[in-house]
Amino acid sequence: MRVPLLLLSAEDDPFIPPQSIPRQAAAANPAVTLEVHPQGGHLGFIEGPLWHPRYYAEQRALDFCESHLRPRPV
């Protein structure tokens, strides 16, 4: 059994250059879901207004885990 993996990255990450994102390796592995966003910075992915920010990465991780933990029909 393979463990599903979600990789979130941003093209504008100041620490991880876009050319180091493992696009080919991710595409070759069915257990890997790679999401590359144009913006997000380094671990940012904050959206919405300052007075009510939403944290995309955390919510996306929860959604990803939930989608892989649901019971599958037999």
The enclosing H or E element of 16 equals: none
Rounded distance, CA 40 to CA 60, Å? 13
pLDDT (tens digit per residue) in 24-73: 999 999 999 999 999 887 777 788 888 998 888 899 999 999 998 877 66
Domain definitions of the chain by residue range: 5-69
pTM attached to this predicted model: 0.79
Contacts (Cβ under 8 Å, ≥6 apart) of 31: 2, 3, 4, 5
Checking if the pLDDT of 1 tops 70, the result is no
pLDDT for residue 5 = 96
